[in-house]
Structure 1
């Protein structure tokens, strides 16, 4: 539907639907709000399974502005902007907005309406260009919004002006904002690094143990939890089937069960989750165990004989499922309890999310939108390695044929390459049953099922569950005397759901050739890590990897430049190249990479391709023609393979700090070799290694080059 020129739109009746019910997602037609409702839910308009059920609440708006903005919001939902307005210069606009953007725009309008009300403005037509300029200043100086957020607010007001041109009442029309004609730069805060790159990576001290425990759940504990949950489901199903009128002798099986417990001196299962009634009858559990209707169980348990016995002999509702997995040689968990096994299941689902989030690089929406069958088994020859692909939908950049947002998402052109741990997580989620989404809300969070049909767990729900998982792990570790395996608090706050992608890029860029958090090998630097991760670079994580690599290089070179200025020395065949690179980087970037564009600029300069290998105490000043880590040096390798460093490579340079680290490592190995605590063959190898490291440190002192003003390079 297009806005007809010279035709005024009029508000609908209060009982009219806000939008055509035929446009609603299947099964959500009843959720379409009425125009006069106190709040509007737009859930029926989106096909994104992880979309939040946010609502527009009209109490956000001062009463004098409530109806004008209700009408403006109705227009925003139902009518696209004319092409002439979309094509105007300034910030890019789309004719139609996604549901999430509609909600955000109306929220921004409410902020503007409240600001106008505080200034004593009572009609949109009274707003002047000076008022709009003052509001832009308010966003910057008072609200302190970042540049991109401020842009969103100003674009929203531009859209409000464009729609106002077709309103019948002039009082509801907003004048053309000054930034439409003049451009936005003068009305915005200074540019700053924004977007995904502003997200802090999860600290290694937190990410390591978190991934350890997530993989334990997925690879070791999953079978126990799923088997226990299956028993739980079976007992619940039996109890549900018993609902209805009581039959003669309905309580006989329960009485026989209680008499057997009494004869053997065993405890009566009771609920333990209700603190106010710690010995309440375990109705559903006993119903499933004995085939007795729940309401009959309560009447039998109120009899004096069983009430008195239960008061003296009561215990948890233990399931029959055995605990088979081990932790430190002991069962990882006490016998499973009926009323707590669902909590363990939530933690298992959370662990699957952590594994998927960290070991793939998917965005949160892509993970929550995964469907059953997304990772099919592949046919292969026996000698070929097993390789799995994950076919996911992406939502952030999904567009329809008109260039507007497609809430259903689109299947990625390049599927994700899945490591075995990820495949295992997918298989665990598929075992939980259901259909459609792996993280289906009706399966994993069955509250209000009518509003959750076809939806996945919400981002906020998963974020809260990650915090609960960490809390459970720390309590479990404390109770098992394994405090060293607890998950420390991250210095930047909650782990959340969106930080795994950034953390993966951080580890790839800063842990080349090493192990990522749990000995999961990722490979080499940048996007040429492996064929699998190279495929990933085609789908959106390439910029993050470049950013992290460039930031790492800039920080290291700036530190080298500062050390050289303080009198530190450099040695090795590439010493002069390292000194020049450090000076050049410091002059151009100052050790700070604030945008993807800067990252690409740095990485495009081959003289700045300097990577530190902390395992061998050196800098690699990478020159492909001289590199010994690549047998085919004429190929397309754009980064070193730091796990294959050769001592005689012409790209090597060492600093005084590396020399100090060499000496420290040599001393440590020498002390271990002489301690008498290691076998003699191992002690001999450790001693040889210590001597080799000490020789490298001595060679640095003999060959070092200085350009600063500090002490000389003498032994």
Structure 2
């Protein structure tokens, strides 16, 4: 089937001083009159990024040939102003930046073949689609590129140069859509198999219910050490008091991880000077002198050196009747925090119904019962993998 290009009235020119974010809410600290204007070669979208995290977003039209710049600007001005044709949906600020990359790719592809958008034929659209599919993108990635190309048809009344036919009417585009159906709002990621998800949720619940208190207590102790004020009027007195405490408890001095003192080799442990300084409430360089080092070396000869820098917190959670860990190192707190965060997300995603199991016989209730009952992990070491 041959599609003849429609006659579309030439769009009204956009003034160079037009504010491109005038149709969007902006951050409270931003001033609209200081935001990007249509004539700028790069438009900053950051003032319209309303999430708490600060993210720099911009549309850089300078990478496009001059012949394509006005077409690209007209399209994205319409998107930002939410001037959407019938049947099109407005898109968010972050999606606008994503579609800009997709549109730029197609514009450069057509320009490399010496064609304006109006000169792009159906065969050209088919060739571009084959190239997209050949990139082995995800389904959602191909869909983004397909939608970006179609925008150059859907927004034709806003553009000085536009496609002459609807790409979605091409047989090859339709065939791909039939072979890759997508239901609106459907998560296309395959479910994790239930024989994998069951043990994963079991351990996630174990972390949340049992191990979390120990991890949070370790984090609180680490934070208190980092914020500890000086324990004596001068560093030498603070160090003597600290080493006397180690002698009183007959506790070996803490050992530093390999990255604290590069060049040292194991198995011989070396004293963790930075950690001792934190315990005394002073910066490390105050102990990096002859007298403090002599006191530390004497204590190391008397007490020995540990294999790590353990925190004082005593593990409360039990695994097979014994503590699930002997102790937590000062340097391992962040790793255990990440494991706890991941466990929380696994529990939330499954038990809130965000991803309902495919089989009704394997429910969140059964998983929780397995965790509470006999489906306990058998290995103590597995708890910290």
TM-score by length of 2: 0.71
The answer on 1:261 being equivalent to 2:252 is no
- Describe the shift of the 1:258–1:77 C-alpha distance in structure 2 as closer, same or farther (beyond 3 A): farther
2:12 — aligned with what?
A: 7
Give the match for residue 231 of structure 1. Answer: 221
Q: What are the Cα deviations for residues 12-64 of structure 1, in whole angstroms up to 9, with x where unaligned? A: 59xxx86359932346789x985799976645434456x99584574995556
- Aligned to 2:175, the other structure's residue is in SS state coil
Question: Which residue in the other structure is 1:209 paired with?
Answer: 199
Larger relative contact order (Cα-Cα within 8 Å, sequence gap ≥ 6) = 2
Tell me, in whole angstroms, the C-alpha distance in 2 between the residues paired with 1:37 and 1:340.
Answer: 49
Give the alignment of 1:72-471 within 5 angstroms: 72=74, 74-81=76-83, 85-86=85-86, 92-94=87-89, 96-121=90-115, 124=116, 127-130=119-122, 133-135=125-127, 137-138=129-130, 142-143=134-135, 152-161=144-153, 165-166=157-158, 173-179=160-166, 183=169, 187-190=173-176, 191-192=178-179, 193-194=181-182, 196=186, 198-238=188-228, 249-261=234-246, 266-272=251-257, 274=259, 276-277=261-262, 279=270, 281-283=272-274, 285-299=275-289, 303-307=293-297, 310=300, 313-315=304-306, 316-362=308-354
CA spacing shift, 1:52–1:238, aligned 2, 3 Å: closer
Q: Partner residue of 1:618?
A: none
1:215 to partner: Cα distance: 0.8
1:71 and 2:63 matched: no
Structure 1 residues 75 and 514: CA distance shift in structure 2, 3 A:
closer
CA-CA distance at 1:109 after TM superposition: 0.7
Q: Is the 8 A contact 1:161 1:177 kept in 2?
A: yes
User: For 1:501-523, what per-residue CA distance to the aligned partner results, in whole angstroms no more than 9, with x for missing partners?
Assistant: 1xx33132x548993485389xx
Deviation at 1:344, TM superposition (A): 1.0
Aligned ranges 1:547-562 → 2 under 5 Å: none
Q: Distance in 2 between matches of 1:261 and 1:520?
A: 40
CA distance in 2 between counterparts of 1:361 and 1:513 reads 9
Summarize the Cα distance change of 1:505–1:303 in structure 2 as closer, same or farther, 3 Å threshold.
closer
- Check the 8 A contact 2:217/2:313 in 1, yes or no: yes
What are structure 2's unaligned runs of at least 5 residues?
1-9, 265-269, 373-385
SS of residue matched to 1:506: coil
Q: Does structure 1 retain, via aligned residues, the 8 Å contact 2:318–2:324?
A: yes
2:5 alignment counterpart? none
Local SS of the residue matching 2:351: helix
- Where 2:192 maps in the other structure, the secondary structure is coil
Cα pair distance change 1:34/1:512, threshold 3 Å: closer
Answer yes or no: is the 8 Å Cα contact 2:42–2:58 preserved in 1: yes
Deviations 1:368-408 (A, max 9, x none): xxxxxxxxxxxxxxxxxxxxxxxxxxxxxxxxxxxxxxxxx
Change (3 A) 1:160 1:81: farther
Relative to structure 1, the CA distance from residue 54 to residue 347 in structure 2 (aligned partners, 3 Å threshold; closer, same or farther) is farther
In structure 1, the residue matched to 2:21 is 19
